[in-house]
């Protein structure tokens, strides 16, 4: 009975909140290597905001295609096992990524303008969360995010293989909303770094681009 109750608890908690281990410095200084974060999985795709930190399954967009995408059954099994082990930070899925949402469906995202800044819907964005000394991007791009997708970037731009790195791949580096696992909402380990994670205000409040609006 105790064992069954423990499994049920882990499954329920895994459906609501999940723990992830940060393996790299691609999100520095916001997230450091070896940080452990909690991710809220409730109704995220319908409430995403620019500036949110999200964890997503990159199997279909970011992962090495040479390894294959696997079957739907394998993916489902992996998710169940992940839910059961996530609360003790056992990472068994190397195709999960954490990045910052920069573009929502319909957004026009460009880098860089004449001042070297990222623009979203023709509005220049100050990015205080960037790694010290990093430019918004060393790679120029001009993209419009399709419906049901997002454009994501790491905070350590010079060390992040994000949407920019997949511009030439099928899908153009866009992440499907269906692949978003949840919104990162707090660092819980190590204790000295524990705290809530909030969306960046500099990316919020930008008006959505009107359908049919021409780029300026």
Task: Express each pLDDT in 144-155 by its tens digit.
Answer: 999 999 999 999
**Tens digits of residue pLDDT in 12-48:** 455 689 999 999 999 999 999 999 999 999 888 778 9
Confidence band (pLDDT; 50, 70, 90) for 75?
Answer: very low
What span, in angstroms and rounded, lies between the C-alpha atoms of 106 and 24? 30
**Tens digits of residue pLDDT in 102-140:** 999 999 999 999 999 999 999 999 999 999 999 999 999
From the list 86, 95, 99, 137, the catalytic residue is 99
From the list 26, 86, 160, 163, the catalytic residue is 26
Q: Which tops the pLDDT comparison, 84 or 74?
A: 84
Known active-site residue 137? no
Predicted confidence at residue 214, as pLDDT, reads: 55
Give whole-number Cα distances, 23 to 27, 32, 56, 91, in Å: 10, 8, 15, 10
Q: Which tops the pLDDT comparison, 2 or 174?
A: 174
Predicted confidence at residue 36, as pLDDT, reads: 97
Known active-site residue 71? no
Predicted confidence at residue 46, as pLDDT, reads: 79
Predicted confidence at residue 138, as pLDDT, reads: 95
Whether residue 9 has pLDDT greater than 60: no
């Amino acid at each position: 009975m105790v064992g069954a109750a423990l499994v049920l608890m882990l499954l329920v908690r895994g459906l609501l909140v999940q723990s992830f281990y940060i393996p790299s410095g691609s999100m520095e200084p916001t997230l450091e290597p070896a940080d452990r974060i909690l991710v809220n999985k409730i109704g995220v795709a319908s409430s995403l905001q620019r500036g949110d930190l999200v964890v997503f399954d990159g199997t279909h967009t970011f992962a090495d295609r040479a390894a294959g995408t696997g079957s739907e059954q394998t993916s489902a099994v992996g998710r169940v096992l992940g839910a059961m082990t996530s609360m003790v930070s056992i990472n068994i899925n190397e195709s999960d990524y954490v990045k910052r949402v920069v573009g929502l469906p319909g957004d026009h995202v460009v880098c860089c303008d004449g001042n070297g800044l990222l623009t979203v819907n023709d509005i220049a964005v100050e990015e205080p969360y960037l790694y010290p000394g990093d430019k918004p991007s060393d790679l120029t791009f001009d993209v419009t995010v399709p419906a049901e997708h997002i454009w994501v970037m790491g905070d350590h731009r010079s060390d992040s293989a994000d949407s920019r790195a997949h511009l030439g791949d099928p899908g153009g580096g866009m992440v499907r909303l269906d692949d978003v696992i949840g919104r990162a909402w707090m660092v819980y380990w190590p204790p000295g770094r524990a705290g809530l994670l909030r969306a960046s205000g500099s990316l919020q409040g930008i008006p959505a681009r009107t359908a049919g609006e021409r780029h300026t």
